Chain A
Amino acid sequence: MNRSKRRTGRRHPLATAALLALGLVFTGGAYAAFSTTTAQAEPSPTSQETIEEGGKLFQANCATCHGLEAQGTNEGPSLIGVGAAAVDFQVGTGRMPMQMQGPQAEQKPVQFTDEQIKQMAYYVASLGPGPDIPADSLVNGGGDAANGAELFRINCAMCHNVAGAGGALTEGKFAPPLTDVSGVHIYEAMVTGPQNMPVFNDLNITPEDKRDIITYLQYVQDNRSPGGFELGSLGPVAEGLFIWIFGLGAIVAITVWITAKSN
Chain B
Amino acid sequence: MSTATTRAPQRRTFTAAASNYIDERTSVSTFVKELGRKAFPDHWSFLLGEVALFSFLVILITGTFLTFFFQASMAEVEYDGSYVPLKGVEMSVAMASTLDISFDLRGGLFVRQMHHWAALLFVAAIGLHMLRIFFTGAFRKPRELNWVIGFVMFILAMGEGFTGYSLPDDLLSGNGLRIIDGMIKGIPLIGTWTSFLLFGGEFPGTAIVGRLYTLHILLLPVILLALIALHLLFVVVHKHTQYAAPGRTQQNAVGPPILPIYAAKAGGFFFLVFGVLALIASLFTINPIWNYGPYDPSPVSAGTQPDWYIGFADGALRLIPPGWEFVLFDRTWSFNILVPLVGLGLFIATVLIYPFIEAWVTGDKREHHIVDRPRNNPTRTAIGAAGVTFYAVLWAAASSDIIATHFKLTMEGVIHSLQALLFLGPIVAYIVAKRVSIALQKKDREIVLHGYESGRIVKLPGGEFIEVHQPLDEYDRWKLVSYESYEPLMIRPNARGKITVGQRLRAGMSRWFFEDRIAPVTKGELEAAHHDHH
The answer to whether B121 has its CB under 8 Å from any CB of chain A is: yes
- Roughly how many angstroms separate A18 CA and B408 CA in the complex, as a whole number? 60
For residue A98, CB closer than 8 A to chain B, the reply is no
Answer whether residue A42 sits at the interface, using C-beta atoms and an 8 A cutoff. Answer: no
Inter-chain contact B292/A244, CB cutoff 8 Å: no
Q: Tell me whether A115 is interfacial, beta carbon within 8 Å.
A: no
Which of A45-53, A146-154, A179-187, A199-207 binds B? A146-154
- Measured between beta carbons, the chain B residues less than 8 angstroms from A258 are 44, 47, 265, 268-269, 272
Q: Mark B367-378, 1 if CB is under 8 A from A, else 0.
A: 000000000000
Residues B85 and A256 in contact, CB atoms below 8 Å apart: no
B residues in contact with A229, CB < 8 Å: 283-285
Residues of A within 8 A of B265 (CB): 258
The A-B contact count (CB < 8 A) is: 196
* SS of A interface (majority): helix
Most buried by A among B102, B113, B400, B401: B401
Residue on A nearest B286 in the bound complex, by CB:
A239
Contact across chains for A243 and B308 when beta carbons are under 8 A apart: yes
Is B307 part of the contact surface with A, judged by Cβ < 8 Å? yes
Contact present for B285 and A228 (CB under 8 Å): yes
Contacts of B109 in A (CB 8 A): 226-227
Kindly state the separation between the CA atoms of A261 and B245 in the bound complex, as whole angstroms.
15
**Inter-chain contacts of B411 with A (CB < 8 A):** 168-172
Partner of A247, one of B87, B268, B280: B280
CA distance A92 to B185 in the complex (A): 49
| Least CB separation from B265: chain A residue | A258
A70 within 8 A of B: no
Number of interface residues of B (CB under 8 A): 71
Docked complex Cα distance between A220 and B293 (Å): 13
Contacts of B302 in A (CB 8 A): 157-161, 165-168, 175
Name the B residues within 8 Å of A256 (CB-CB): 44
Q: Are A244 and B308 in contact (CB under 8 A)?
A: yes
B518 at the interface (CB under 8 A from A): no
Q: Which residues from 95 to 142 on chain B have a C-beta closer than 8 Å to any C-beta of chain A?
A: 102-103, 109, 113, 117, 120-121, 124-125, 128
A254 to B284: give the CA distance in the assembly, Å: 20
Among A83-91, A117-125, A190-198, A230-238, the stretch in contact with B: A230-238
Known contacts: A166-B405, A216-B85, A248-B125. The answer to whether A255 contacts B299 by CB under 8 A is no
B287 proximity list for chain A (CB < 8 A) = 236, 239
Question: Given the known A-B contacts A166-B405, A243-B117, are A251 and B273 also in contact in the complex, defined by CB atoms under 8 Å?
Answer: yes
Which listed residue (B43, B44, B285, B308) contacts A227, Cβ 8 A? B285
Chain B, Cβ-Cβ closest to A235: B303
Q: Given the known A-B contacts A149-B293, A161-B303, A168-B302, are A255 and B51 also in contact in the complex, defined by CB atoms under 8 Å?
A: yes
Residues of chain B contacted by A154 (CB below 8 angstroms)? 296, 298-299
Q: A168-B411, A226-B109, A243-B308 are in contact. Are A146 and B303 (CB under 8 A)?
A: no
Given the complex of chains A and B, what is the CA–CA distance between A15 and B268 in angstroms? 76
Smallest CB separation, B467 vs chain A (Å): 30
Contact A251 B412 (CB under 8 A): no
B505 in the interface (beta carbon within 8 A): no
Q: Does A174 contact B (CB under 8 A)?
A: yes
A243 touches B124 (CB 8 A): yes
Asked whether A259 lies within 8 Å of B47 as measured between CB atoms, the reply is: yes
B311 touches A240 (CB 8 A): yes
Mark contacts of A102-118 with chain B using CB atoms, 8 A cut-off: 1 yes-contact digit, 0 otherwise.
Answer: 01000000000000000
Contact status B291-A247, CB under 8 Å: no
Given contacts A158-B301, A243-B124, A259-B42, contact A153 B296 (CB under 8 A): yes
Q: How large is the interface on A (under 10, 10 to 19, 20 to 34, 35 or more residues)?
A: 35 or more
A244 touches B124 (CB 8 A): yes
A-side contacts of B404, CB under 8 Å = 168, 172, 174
CB distance A162 to B291 under 8 Å? yes
Give the residues in chain B near A150, CB-CB below 8 Å. 89, 293
Q: Which of B44, B113, B171, B282 contacts A162 (CB 8 A)?
A: B171
Q: Given the interface contacts A174-B405, A254-B276, does A239 sit within 8 Å of B301 by beta carbon?
A: no
Q: Which residues in window 371-418 of B have CB below 8 A to A? A: 398-402, 404-405, 408-413
A231 and B171 in contact (CB under 8 A), knowing A161-B302, A251-B51, A251-B276?
no
> What's the Cα separation between A255 and B43 when bound, in Å?
8
- B84 in the interface (beta carbon within 8 A): yes
Do residues B293 and A230 form an inter-chain contact, with CB atoms below 8 A?
Answer: no
- Given A167-B302, A229-B285, A247-B121, check contact A149 B43 (CB 8 Å): no
Contact with B along A129-164 (1 / 0, CB 8 A): 000000000000000011011100110011111110
A74 to B71, CA, bound (A): 60
The residue that B172 contacts in the complex, of A220, A235, A240, with Cβ under 8 A, is A235
Question: In the bound complex, how far is the Cα of B289 from the Cα of A207, in angstroms?
Answer: 28
Contact B307 A240 (CB under 8 A): yes
Residues of the B chain whose Cβ atoms lie less than 8 Å from the Cβ of A145 = 84-85
Judge whether A153 and B293 touch: CB under 8 Å: yes
Residues of A within 8 A of B303 (CB): 161, 165, 167, 234-235, 237
In the assembled complex, which residues on chain A have CB atoms less than 8 Å from the CB atom of B272?
254, 258
A38–B97 Cα distance when bound, in Å, is: 56
**CB <8 Å contact, A149 and B86:** yes
Compute how far the CA of A252 lies from the CA of B42 in the bound complex, rounded to whole angstroms: 14
In the complex, chain B residues whose CB is within 8 Å of the CB of A230: 285, 288
Q: What's the minimum C-beta distance from B178 to chain A, rounded to whole angstroms?
A: 14
B304, CB-defined interface residue at 8 Å: yes
B482 within 8 A of A: no
Query: What's the least CB distance linking A210 to chain B, in Å?
Result: 16
Contact of B301 among A162, A231, A252 (CB under 8 A): A162
Cβ-defined partner of A146 (8 Å) among B85, B291, B409: B85
Contact pattern, B 131-163, Cβ under 8 Å of A = 1, otherwise 0? 000000000000000000000000000000000
In the complex, what residues of B have CB within 8 A of residue A168's CB?
A: 302, 400-402, 404-405, 411
User: Considering the chains assembled together, what is the distance between the CA atoms of A228 and B284 in angstroms?
Assistant: 5
B306 at the interface (CB under 8 A from A): yes
Ordered nearest first, which 3 A-B pairs have the shortest CB separation? A167-B302, A240-B308, A227-B285
* Given A230-B285, A252-B128; 7 other pairs, CB 8 A cutoff: A146-B87, A153-B301, A168-B411, A233-B291, A235-B303, A236-B306, A247-B280
Residues of B in contact with A (beta carbons under 8 Å apart)? 42-48, 51, 84-89, 102-103, 109, 113, 117, 120-121, 124-125, 128, 171-172, 265, 268-269, 272-273, 276-277, 280, 282-288, 290-293, 296, 298-308, 311, 398-402, 404-405, 408-413
21 A-B residue pairs with CB within 8 Å: A146-B84, A146-B89, A157-B301, A158-B299, A163-B288, A168-B302, A172-B404, A172-B408, A172-B410, A220-B85, A220-B291, A228-B113, A235-B301, A237-B399, A237-B402, A240-B307, A242-B284, A251-B273, A251-B276, A252-B128, A255-B48
